[in-house]
Amino acid sequence: MSSTMRAVFVRKYGGPEVMQLEEIPIPRPSGKQVLIKMKAAGVNAVDFKYISNTMPEGSIPVPFVPGIDGSGIVAEIGSEVQSVKVGDRVYVTWAGHRNVGNRPYAEYSMYDERSVFPLPDNISFKEGAVLGVPYFTAYVGLFHRCRAKSGEVFLMHGGSGAIGIAGIQWARSRGMFVIATAGTKEGLELVKKVGAHHAVNHREPDHDKVIMNLTGGRGVDVILEMAPSINLAMDIELVTHGGRIGVIGTPGPIEIKPQRTYAKESSINGVGTIAITPEVVKEVSSALYAGLELGFIQPVVGTEFPLEKAADAVRVREKERSGALGQYVLTM
């Protein structure tokens, strides 16, 4: 193994232009650390928030290597690691905590053992790189924050992005009736392909009436919302009595009528994964492995960029997120 690697560094906060490709020493693991030879890294919306220091939950001190999700092969392990061995195919993500050390916008990345998960042989490294944030977030939002159950009606607002696709697939795996929205012809085709029973164009006027009509006027039981600053007031009207809304997307100012929530005995739930317990991490990762292995979970890879084009990937991802089709990836 070489003694150096290429990595994308952020040494000051700003736009994608602050990301610089550098050659640095490869770190060596100790204790419960796992060194991974990265094959691909997911490009999440949250990556830009950390680069620009606009993450509501707090900043990552500069300098740092960006990224949260990735996949690759275990290259070296610390003396206390028990769950993986050198040569294993794995994917990585934050789950229940923030990691320290290098992150996946690099040829090698160091992760705590708690954030390293086995990747089934039938899943490519590119597909493995888009698992973490989307599938963990959607699972927690659906089944923990919103207590979704089989037979309920589920609305995925913004279904063609990575979290939207994950939400659709998780809901279908539990026997829910799924309505998903998208804003382009390609997006509408994609949400149907990945499992939605009905696709609705959220850029069309009165699309809320279309959704309500699909439920026979009853309303939906559960909504995962990627654009609450645009849709939350509408979502409150769309849910049925006892309905639950999971807020995932970018925050922004909004005016709502809170009396509608107590009239319907509905709830609005914030969805995140940093604070989930080790038991929930085990639950999600186990369900995800089974879904990938058996084929009812099928991640969708969007546009691919080489590592040296990481700034372009983040820039395009941030600009085009409203019409996303799957998740962007960096390849090493």
pTM: 0.94
Predicted local confidence at residue 232, as pLDDT? 92
Predicted local confidence at residue 99, as pLDDT? 58
Q: Map residue 316 onto helix, strand or coil.
A: helix
Predicted local confidence at residue 246, as pLDDT? 97
Does residue 315 have a pLDDT over 80? yes
Assign 223 a pLDDT band (cuts: 50, 70, 90). Answer: very high
Q: How far apart are CA 319 and CA 265, in angstroms?
A: 37
φ, ψ dihedrals at 221, nearest 5° = -85, -40
Does residue 129 have a pLDDT over 90? yes
Does residue 101 have a pLDDT over 60? no
Assign 250 a pLDDT band (cuts: 50, 70, 90). Answer: low
Residue-range domains of the chain with CATH: 4-131+299-331 (3.90.180.10), 134-270 (3.40.50.720)
90: phi > 0 → left, psi -120 to 50 → alpha, else beta; which? beta
Closest by Cα among 281, 289, 269, 296 to 174: 296
Does residue 280 have a pLDDT over 80? yes
Assign 10 a pLDDT band (cuts: 50, 70, 90). Answer: very high
Query: Cα separations (Å) of 317 from 17, 40, 106?
Result: 14, 16, 18
**For the chain, what is the mean pLDDT?**
92
Of residues 46 and 174, more confidently modeled = 174
Q: How far apart are CA 290 and CA 312, in angstroms?
A: 34
Q: How far apart are CA 230 and CA 49, in angstroms?
A: 20
Assign 96 a pLDDT band (cuts: 50, 70, 90). Answer: low
